[in-house]
C-alpha cells in the first residue's frame, strides 16, 4: 500500500469535470485506488464516490493505492490533482 497527501488547488475542488478526469486516470491502473477526505473514503474509480466526498478548494486529501502498480498510480493521480485548473 502506498499513500500520499495532496492539496486540491482547483477552484471548484473535485466536482464534475475534474472528478471525471480523476476517475478516467484511476481506471487506467490495475491497483485499487481511493481517496480520503474529512474521515470519509471513496473509490477513485467511482465518479459518484468521488463527488460524494465534496472535496473543495484548499482541501487536503490522501490518495491511497494498493496493487501491482500502486506507486505509479499514486504519483500520476497526485500530479493530475496538483495540475487541475478551474
Write down the catalytic residue from 15, 21, 32, 43: 15
How far is CA 31 from each of CA 7, 9, 11, 63, rounded to the nearest angstrom? 22, 25, 28, 12
Does the active-site annotation cover 74? no
Rounded to 10 degrees, the C-alpha dihedral 67/47/17/11 comes to: -80
Catalytic positions: 15
Amino acid at each position: 500500500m502506498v499513500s500520499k497527501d495532496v492539496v486540491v488547488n482547483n477552484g471548484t475542488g473535485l466536482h464534475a469535470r475534474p472528478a471525471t478526469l480523476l476517475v478516467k486516470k484511476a481506471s487506467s491502473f490495475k491497483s485499487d485506488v481511493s481517496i480520503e477526505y474529512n474521515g470519509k473514503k471513496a473509490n477513485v474509480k467511482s465518479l459518484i464516490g468521488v463527488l460524494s466526498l465534496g472535496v473543495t478548494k484548499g482541501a487536503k486529501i490522501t490518495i491511497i493505492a494498493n496493487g501491482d502498480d500502486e506507486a505509479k498510480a499514486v504519483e500520476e493521480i497526485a500530479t493530475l490533482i496538483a495540475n487541475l485548473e478551474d
